[in-house]
Structure 1
Amino acid sequence: MNKPKLWSKDFISVSLSNFFLFLTFYILLVTLPSYAMEELHSSSSMAGLMTTVFLLSAIVSRPLAGQWLERSGNKKVLLTALIIFASASLLYFFPTTISGFLVIRLLHGIGFGMATTAVGTIVADIIPASRRGEGMGYFVMSTNMAMVIGPFVGLLAIQQWGPQILFSLSVIVAIASLLTGLSVKHTKTEQPSKIEVLSTSSFHRLFEASAVPIAIVGSFMAIVYSALLSFVSIYAHEIHLASVASLFFVVYAIVLLISRPFTGKWLDQYGPNVISYPCIALFAIGMFILSQSSGVFTFLLSAGMIGLGWGTLFPTFQTIAIQDAEPRKRGVATATFLSIYDTGIALGSFLVGVIAAKMDYSSLYFFCSFYILFGAVLYYFLHTRKQASSTKVKKQQTKMQEI
């Protein structure tokens, strides 16, 4: 039997749009705080708000975008979001104060939150149900590749050519996201009836309850991931491996590229538990090796194991969130998952920063490895046991119907 087609024109277009969207995000993520301190002479706490304001506005906008997706259709929301995102990118040339930049970051975050919700929903509709794990894995790779390329391009631009070239690059990449988004055909999920809308509470229109448990697990794990994003380059300097610090996420991405054809298919064939538990273990082992690293080999080995572990867990969790929701609720489910996940990133960036001030990074990553193992317990209670109970109830209902 032939497999349904995965690499359609729409799948490629929406993946490219997502890549350029996150490329803009990462280009600015690593450069704006230093720009604020050096060019605008702001304090480190005010510079940190560049990221915080952006993420908070994205988190707040996602539930609203999810509801809009359910009512108005995916294409309309995607294009509106990408226009807001590209327009906000154009505004970075003008402000001369930190307050002005924070207003733009607020607007930019709204566009980003809406756009990431829309592309996540569209790709879930495009991917054949029998290949959803495989397809979501490839789709999330577009984000992973942006995470590797974005910081490199952003730092090179601001260090070699200055902020005007940096902002020009961000505009070009944001417009590329809009253009590739325009090439996606109109896709629209099943619309709710007026009776369903009236009988549904405001909370349930904004949040999809079925996505909350796995989103909590993802958010819990994301706290450790934020520790990597924020401090792994500083840790590399601390252990005298600054020369290979930039290779950490390169190795992370290479391992993802190699493993993705297998892990996505296994998810579709055997279910999420067969993937999740080994990957949680790999993530924990990778963090432990990182905490003990003293040479290039162990440092990059940890990157590979973390890439295979966490890099596989994230699309697996997002796939679970989408599969557990009704087709017409995929937009709300995507928004719910990403909002709760990003809350973990935002909270983790703050908490890990506070903890890092009290201990060295080696100890921080050592304790993170055990924290991840506790995540396996959380996954069991919030997903595995719940799934087993649901399956048991369905079997009982089937037997009753047969009788």
Structure 2
Amino acid sequence: MKEEHSLWTKEFVILALSNFMLFVAFQMLIPTLPVYITDKGGDQLAVGLVVSLFTVSALLVRPFTGKALDSMGRRPVLLSGLGIFLLAVCGYYWMASVALVLALRFVHGIGWGIVTTTYGTIVSDIIPAARRGEGMGYFGMFTNLAMAVGPLIGLSVSQAWGYGWLFGVSGGLTALAMILSRLVEIKAPIAATHPGSAVSGGLFEKKALFPALLALLTGVMYGGIVSFITLFGKEVGIENVGLYFLFNALSLMLIRPLSGKLFDRKGPFWVLMPGGVITGIAVLVLSYSTTEVGLIAAAILFGVGAGAVQPSLQAWTIQRVDPSRRGAATGTFFSAFDLGIGGGAMILGAIAKYTGFALMYRYSMLVMVLYLVIYLVYAVRQSKKATAPKAVSS
């Protein structure tokens, strides 16, 4: 294979490992920080704010991060984000009140928004264009592995040694991610095809808006699942809902490289359409599940569908934009996905209040129908443009 098409370069492997360490550090706190809040006297509202404050701050900072990546360079933005993330993780233990923990959570979200946008941009620089879908799939596989092991590590550490060790281990992994990132040869932002576009361009990249819209819709589905799966389990009598996350993560890990290769060879349509259909079916299966077998089947289907769609949308976003606007495009993409998760949790939660969670999931399938209709109309219009005869000049 030609060197310029090599995927598993030293930079790619180190960056993937650095991202893996960061995601483990983050996932360790997902099941443990709410307990930490309640141990300090926080109520259910405070626990809810742990998620919402983090999401809001990450959402707000992403567009500015994308702009900074294109105008200032990758490394200083990455290191500043990792530094903020590290200080927040280590600072949780020293916060004397729930209010201070929540304030620090907002700062933590800023660091998270910066680093995840930056990692996504840097890896898009490193991956060869001809293997972008496959590369994004493998890079996402490391993230899914972290999602599978991170919560387990966090719970084990906090239960065995306490919160001091929990935040210490999470901070240590973040520091390790920072050290690994320094070993990556990060290239300066690629010169713009149109000079001045990186500086004069806005916070959001217009060419990334359509994939970002589709990402927003998939985020609504994901937000509904992660926010209410435990309550759904109680509603229908499934005790071990943790099996959903385990099998979902395993399914994501297996499908992402395969869907990435299909994206590179056949184009986005052959991944985004079937992936959307499978995602919709997965939510429908989940809504009718009353046993662990049904839950596992829904988890596997959702992993296949979402695992095909999300990295392919991200790769497609990068393909559509000028190299000098990759930072802004990545920020636009992740901002839309975050907005979908947060908005989906609020809207679907309001629906579930009146319908119950099973029926709410069936209604949420309409979001995926909308996704399919929008993308199908777009694909048909693009096909007509490609086959339309060109005007003959006289």
1:227-273: CA deviation from partner (whole Å, max 9, x where unpaired): 11112233233333323x22212211222233333211110010010
Bigger mean CA offset, 11-20 vs 161-170? 161-170
Structure 1 unaligned residues grouped into runs of 5+: none
CA contact (8 A) 2:32 2:154 kept: yes
Residues 1:104 and 2:101 aligned together? no
Q: 1:24 to 1:336 in 2, by over 3 A?
A: same
Distance 2:198 2:78 in 1: 26
Distance 1:198 1:274 in 2: 32
Query: Which of the numbers 329, 333, 339 marks the counterpart of 1:337?
Result: 333
Cα RMSD of the aligned pairs, angstroms, is 2.4
Shift of 1:41: 1.4
Query: Which of the numbers 307, 315, 321 marks the counterpart of 1:319?
Result: 315
| Letter of the 1:47 counterpart | V
Aligned to 1:17: 18
CA contact (8 A) 1:67 1:205 kept: yes
Q: 1:148 to 1:321 in 2, by over 3 A?
A: same
Shift of 1:385: 4.6
| Letter of the 1:164 counterpart | G
Distance 1:20 1:198 in 2: 30
Alignment of 1:86-165 (within 5 A): 86-165=86-165
Aligned to 2:70: 70
1:141-176: CA deviation from partner (whole Å, max 9, x where unpaired): 222222222222223333443322221222122112
1:55-102: CA deviation from partner (whole Å, max 9, x where unpaired): 111111111111111112212221221122112211111111122112
Residues 1:174 and 2:171 aligned together? no
Distance 1:68 1:228 in 2: 33
Q: 1:193 to 1:123 in 2, by over 3 A?
A: closer
CA contact (8 A) 1:86 1:178 kept: no
Distance 1:199 1:360 in 2: 49
Residues 1:214 and 2:211 aligned together? yes
Query: Which of the numbers 297, 305, 310 marks the counterpart of 2:293?
Result: 297
Q: Name the SS for the 1:28 alignment partner.
A: coil
Shift of 1:139: 1.0
| Letter of the 2:327 counterpart | G
Aligned to 1:30: 31
Q: 1:132 to 1:95 in 2, by over 3 A?
A: same
1:16-48: CA deviation from partner (whole Å, max 9, x where unpaired): 222222222222233222321x22212312221
Aligned to 1:384: 379
TM value normalised by structure 1: 0.90
Distance 2:382 2:181 in 1: 35
Residues 1:278 and 2:279 aligned together? no
Distance 2:360 2:115 in 1: 34
Q: 1:234 to 1:161 in 2, by over 3 A?
A: farther
Residues 1:47 and 2:47 aligned together? yes
Distance 1:314 1:386 in 2: 23
Q: 1:258 to 1:176 in 2, by over 3 A?
A: same
Shift of 1:199: 8.4
CA contact (8 A) 1:283 1:310 kept: yes
Shift of 1:125: 0.7
CA contact (8 A) 2:192 2:322 kept: no
Shift of 1:182: 1.5
| Letter of the 2:213 counterpart | I
Aligned to 2:56: 56
TM value normalised by structure 2: 0.92
Aligned sequence identity (%): 33
Q: 1:375 to 1:89 in 2, by over 3 A?
A: same
Distance 1:52 1:67 in 2: 24
CA contact (8 A) 1:280 1:310 kept: yes
Distance 2:302 2:195 in 1: 47
Q: 1:195 to 1:139 in 2, by over 3 A?
A: closer
Bigger mean CA offset, 25-34 vs 47-56? 25-34
Distance 1:113 1:199 in 2: 21
